Amino acid sequence: MLILARRIGESIMVGDQVEISVVDIKGDQVKLGIKAPSQVKVYRREVYAAIQDENRAAAAASPQTLPSLDELIPKQSDPGKSST
């Protein structure tokens, strides 16, 4: 892993389109500013981990616990399902 020391107001470039700057430092918290093209998604690492965890929980689904439409919608009305 590349490790760089930066002060408040300084930044680093990732490629030529993504700029990450140190906006503020308070105690053990660092505020980062990120400039990136709109098609580059920026999110906290935890979001990625949460989706991984949720996928693992979902993959364990047992066919026996899958509810039927009747249980989902007490009074029946067809919502117009589109399928493949």
d(CA 24, CA 30): 6
Q: How far is the CB of 79 from other proteins (least distance, A)?
A: 6
Cβ–Cβ under 8 Å, residues 69 and 57: no
d(CA 26, CA 49): 26
The answer to the question of residue 14 lying near other proteins (CB under 8 A) is no
Q: Which of 27, 45, 65, 76 binds other proteins (CB under 8 A)?
A: 65
Q: How far is the CB of 32 from other proteins (least distance, A)?
A: 16
The answer to the question of residue 34 lying near other proteins (CB under 8 A) is no
Positions 42 through 61 that interact with other proteins (CB under 8 A): 42-43, 47-48, 50-59, 61
CA dist list (Å): 7 to 21, 26, 47, 50, 77: 9, 12, 27, 31, 61
Three-class secondary structure of residue 74 per DSSP: coil
Q: Which residues are at the interface with other proteins (CB under 8 A)?
A: 38-43, 47-48, 50-59, 61-63, 65-69, 72-73, 77, 79-84
